[in-house]
């Protein structure tokens, strides 16, 4: 195993570890919420278009 200190890598302290420990779950929740918002908006426009031109 190579010595990472030779590449300028430093060990994280406890505060830095806590700040970076968020994982991917919050990002997945955010992506799901944005996707639902976009799809809901598109569905609303589609329904409005169909009901306006369906006389």
What ranges in the chain are assigned the alpha helix state H?
14-20, 25-52
Query: For 1-41, what is each residue's pLDDT tens digit?
Result: 467 777 887 887 777 766 655 678 888 899 999 999 999 98
**pLDDT number for residue 9:** 79
Rg of the chain over all Cα atoms, to the nearest angstrom:
24
CB 20 within 8 A of CB 12: yes
What pTM does this model have?
A: 0.46
Token duo for residue 15:
């505060």
Torsion 14-19-24-25 (CA) sign: positive
């Amino acid at each position: 195993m190579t010595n990472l200190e030779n590449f300028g890598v430093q060990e994280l302290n406890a505060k830095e570890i806590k700040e970076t420990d968020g994982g991917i779950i919050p990002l997945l929740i955010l992506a799901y919420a944005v996707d639902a918002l976009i799809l809901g908006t598109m569905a609303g426009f589609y329904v409005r278009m169909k009901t306006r031109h369906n006389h």
